[in-house]
Structure 1
Amino acid sequence: MNLLRIAMLSILLLLTGCASQYSISEKQLSNYLNDAIHFDTKQGNTLFGIEMRVNDVAVKLGHKPDIMAITASSTVKVRNPLMPLTAKLTTQFEAKPWYDANTHSVYLRQLRLVEVASTPKDIETAIAPIAPQLMGFLTHFLETQPVYVLDTQQSNQALIADMTQRIEVTPGKLKLIFKN
């Protein structure tokens, strides 16, 4: 089995021009996170309450050295008989990604909340009670769950997973650097 893996690795390297790295794009990371994050909460009753749903997650790589930025957009609805409100809440986090060779996954460390914004602006006081819950959920998720996992069921990604030593953040992509 080991000999077969080495042969496949050699062929893969020859076909890729002796590559020493593999890249994951911002789009791949964003798609992975959009599939992984499912957050939908309702609090209150039919007259008074708040509903919130994370709608979209976007990733930006390399805007700062070794940093991955994650922007999460959420829809917030505040129910009340006098003035029901619907708003968009956008949160931005920054973190340093790292590769766990045992799980073939990319995780985040040193997560930091950078910005919280709402549209319309005047809704911030109405959503203040639910904002900590959203921040807590997103922070916990991003600190404890992988933001990308190589699919070891696919032979090429299984080989890449075994060969990856570390990652590097560059503008627009995350490079998986192979062992020498």
Structure 2
Amino acid sequence: MPTDYRREVKQLAEFCVPAASVGIAAGVVAGALGVFVGQPVGWAVLTGLGLAVPLALLGAGYAALLALKKIPAGVYAPAALYWAFGFPLALFIHAIVTEWVVTGTPGLPPEPWKFLAFRALLSMGFAIGFLWMHEQIGRHWWPRIMHHNLYAHRCVEQYVHLAESMTARKAAVVRARKNRTA
């Protein structure tokens, strides 16, 4: 494997840390809720991993699309579309793992198409939370690594451009209001 390719893969993985951590956090919450409702600790850990692993991998996939400029930074619609497919898939895997933990045999949820369709509806809320958490973690992470990470540098530039254009738009609205009242 060429050195440049290894460096790019390493930088991409480093850039994806905030997105993957959102999935890990969701798995930790699922595992903690499992313990809270009385599941044995081993079941709760497997339940958490059954959700954390697919969400972390899918989150990293979203971040890779962002890093490779396939989707714009800070825009909800691409996140909503991505998670309309990714979130049901992650919960489908989680349901199979949960069935396996509880019964000893992996199994599909009853009426899998209805299961997936309902989770697709719920995905819009997850997309909002994912995007918010991803940006909150990323705004602390990417500036720290941007001096050696091309993907973080590009992403920070996108956010700076977005902030500058929003500031200019806001200033134009304020000027237009002043001109109307004057």
Give the TM-score band, short-chain normalised. Answer: 0.3 to 0.5
- TM-score for both structures, normalised by structure 1: 0.35
Q: Which has the higher strand share?
A: 1
TM-score, normalised relative to structure 2: 0.35
Higher helix share: 2
